[in-house]
Amino acid sequence: MKPKILALSHLFPNAKKPVFGIFVYYRLRAIQKYCDVRVIAPIKRYPFSRKVVSKNSDAWPNAQDTNHLITFYPGFTVIPRIFKWFDSISYWRAIRPIVKKLLNEKFDFNIIDVHWSYPDILAAYILAKQRNCPFIVTIRGKKALYAGRFSIRRWLLNSLLKKANAIIALSSELKSMLKEIGIPDEKIHVILNGIDTSVFRHIDRAEARKALNIPEKGVFIISVGSLIKGKGHHELIKIMPELIRKHNATLYIIGSAGPAGNYEAPLKELARKTAPEKIHFIEEITHQQLCYWYNAADLFCLATKSEGCPNVVLESLACGTPVVVTDVGAVKDFIIDGENGFVSPDSDQMESKIDAALLNVRWNRNNIANGMKEKNWDSCARKVLSVYDSVLK
């Protein structure tokens, strides 16, 4: 009999934000092949500010069945910036009627799978105690641990993480951080995100450039990510004058503002002052179009400040495009300097690493792409299944 999994994640795609937490959706869709999965994806609602509600909240859709992944979207109340301990209580109250409905329909889940830390984890802990079943938590980045000054939220999170039956970390770095707060080594499993290798694949660069209607000749660098300060797009813009002088490079920044913020205006103003004819912004696009952009580029760069396992880097490599990325999250787990790219210790050294990458004429794009073929979502799902097995035993 297939295990029955109840997944909890407020980080999940919905009608208004179709790519919000898309990596959570992909993993659960892959797991659905082996398990019976139901998803509760609560959506934040802001009770006091019409401005906040109009810009950042979503409609609460009814249960949806997308690719056989049944998902429920209750709303839960949050108060921005203050009373963050209240979020977990509001979250728990929001999901209770759905849990009751699922149990009445004989969906007797035997694992609770949490895909963001807080506020989701308190609800998972309460349900696990009530149902006498295990719960696991995935830590997707440093932000999920709320490191920094003491708060009730951080204290509660650390306490509940110690009670989880297993924790999945998206990088060795995150595993080390979890051990520092007292999580036993044997509870932590490092599992990277997967890639949709049916979409992100190596194709001829000339064909990709023709499809995008960009010049066949020229040095093109791309960076993909939300237009927020933390992604470091401004760091790439700052070094463009030297890259133009040395390589006549052109930079394409692909992304748009998202739930985490909006740094679009400062980025475009900086680009205008730096090299407007050589820096271009592309709005959010489909995955199929993104595949062409990766293949068209000579190099993919990401000067981000913090990540767990950045999917955009995996996608670029799956397309055979070498990468230069700051030393964050899991990047050292799959980037081998000189073989498929370079890891830069920080954004200050990005220019020298990009220079080295563009001078390296030995990149074997077929080999880079082939090295990622086994890192698909099905492979990721089977590793998660082994964690399910361990906690059920």
> What does the radius of gyration of the chain's CA atoms come to, in whole angstroms?
22
CB 148 within 8 A of CB 181: no
Report how far residue 317's alpha carbon sits from residue 294's, in angstroms, rounded to the nearest whole number: 9
Task: Find, among 116, 115, 112, 159, the residue nearest to 133 by Cα.
Answer: 112
Among 232-236, 346-350, 383-387, whose mean pLDDT is lowest?
346-350
Burial status of residue 141 (CB atoms within 10 A of its CB: 0-12, 13-18, 19 or more)? buried
**CA distances from residue 349 to 21, 302, 324, 334 in whole angstroms, order as listed:** 30, 12, 10, 20
**Both structure tokens of 148:** 């920094």
Strands 43-45 and 166-169: unpaired
* Domains of the chain from N-terminus onward: 4-194+376-392 (3.40.50.2000), 205-370 (3.40.50.2000)
User: In sequence order, what are the residues at sequence separation of 6 or more whose Cβ sits closer than 8 angstroms to the Cβ of residue 7?
Assistant: 24, 28, 37, 38, 39, 40, 112, 113, 114, 115
What pLDDT does 260 receive? 67
The DSSP bridge partners found for residue 251 are: 221, 279
Q: Kindly list the distances between the CA atom of residue 158 and the CA atoms of 122, 139, 154, in Å, as whole numbers in the listed order.
A: 11, 12, 6
Q: Strand 4-8 to strand 64-66: parallel, antiparallel, or no bridges (unpaired)? A: unpaired
List pLDDT tens digits, range 285-331: 888 899 999 999 999 999 998 888 889 999 999 999 999 999 988 89
Q: Pick the closest to residue 244 from 223, 269, 274, 267 (CA basis).
A: 274
What's the distance, CA 257 to chain centroid?
15
Instruction: Check residue 56 and give its pLDDT.
Output: 41
The better pLDDT of the pair 373, 253 is held by 253
pLDDT of residue 55: 41
How far is Cα 135 from Cα 143, in angstroms, rounded to an integer?
21
Q: Among 202, 170, 164, which Cα is nearest to 308's?
A: 170
Residue 359: CB atoms within 10 A of its CB come to: 10
Confidence of residue 167 (pLDDT cuts 50, 70, 90): very high
Confidence at residue 54, expressed as pLDDT on a 0 to 100 scale: 38
Higher pLDDT among residues 68 and 186, named by residue: 186
CA-based torsion, 244, 246, 248, 251: positive or negative = negative
- Whether residue 9 contacts residue 120, with contact meaning beta carbons closer than 8 Å, is answered with yes
Q: Is the pLDDT of residue 50 over 50?
A: no
What's phi and psi for 113, nearest 5 deg? -115, 110
Place of tokens 């650390």: 158
Q: What is the pLDDT of residue 63?
A: 60
As a whole number of Å, the end-to-end CA separation of the chain is: 15
Report the percent of the chain where pLDDT is more than 90: 74
Instruction: Count other C-beta atoms under 10 Å from residue 292's C-beta.
Output: 21
Tokens standing for 279? 């820096």
- pLDDT for residue 306: 82
Q: What is the DSSP string of 57-98?
A: -------EEETTEEEE--EEE--TTS-HHHHHHHHHHHHHHH
